[in-house]
Structure 1
Amino acid sequence: MSTEEKRVWVYTAVALVVPVVYFTAILRQVPGADVTRITYLPALLTAIGVAVLANVVASVATAIAAPAEAGLKDERDAAIRRYGQRTEYHVLSVGVLGVFALTVSQAAHFWIANALYLTFVLSALASGIVRVVAYRRGF
């Protein structure tokens, strides 16, 4: 398994685990509550920060674990990265339309912010899954 593939696995795992923890904590407060009173911003910013930090730490750890492979990327890695980015773009495009609809309908900021975060999460997951499958089975 190449270093790039290991990074993709970590990226995908982080893109799954961190949002699940965030949404579990936040959505638990929604039933019967006025969403305008839910304090979601600190948890949202923490989730984003933890995801970025986890990916950086994992990337550094991967490079330290296999220093000879750390900077090696080939044409296949570049092609797989582009393939994942195209998928990510399409998911983001559809998700942003949903966020736009929420904004136009004057939904509460809670829903708009969480829909936008969910859009980024789904695009990251889609990209990661497509890239993992491409590494494992080809594309």
Structure 2
Amino acid sequence: MTLEQRRAWIRLVVAVLGYAVYLVVVLGRAAGEPLASVSYGGPLLWTVGGAIAAAILAEIAFAVANPRASQLKDDRDREIGRLGDQAGHPFVVIGAVAAMLMAIVDWAPFWIANVIYLCFVLSAVVGGIAKVVVYRGSVPEW
């Protein structure tokens, strides 16, 4: 497994787990109240920060466990990275446009922040899945 393939797996798993933790915490705080009244800022920041830290620590742990693994990036890795980024990028745009429209019509900040977070996670997941699938097969030729 190449360095970039391992990173794709780590980031994919961490994105899903981080968002799942966030949902459990926020939904647990709701306890029958409207979601827009739930205190979400702390859990959002902690899960984003925790996911970043977890990804870094996982990459370090894998590097320590297998120090002879290649650290090189070749053309195939760059193409797969580009493809994954292109697959996930539309969700960032969708999230930004949705948040802008939600702000224009004065939606609660809870919903705006959560649509942005969800779209970031979708971008990471879709991009990660695209990378993992292509690593298992071959880079499509256009």
TM-score, normalised with respect to structure 1 = 0.90
Distance 2:66 2:75 in 1: 20
Contact 2:2/2:71, CA 8 A, preserved across alignment: no
- In the alignment, does 2:65 pair up with 1:55? no
Aligned to 1:46: 46
Aligned-residue identity in percent? 35
- In the alignment, does 2:30 pair up with 1:3? no
- In the alignment, does 2:124 pair up with 1:114? no
How far did 1:104 drift? 1.2
- Paired residues for 1:1-139 under 5 Å: 1-30=1-30, 32-139=32-139
Amino acid in structure 1 at the alignment position of 2:17: V
Q: Secondary structure at the match of 2:117?
A: helix
Q: Secondary structure at the match of 1:67?
A: coil
* Unaligned stretches of 5+ residues in structure 1: none
* Unaligned stretches of 5+ residues in structure 2: none
How far did 1:27 drift? 3.0
Give the number of equivalent residue pairs.
Answer: 139
Amino acid in structure 2 at the alignment position of 1:129: I
How far did 1:3 drift? 2.1
Contact 1:7/1:62, CA 8 A, preserved across alignment: no
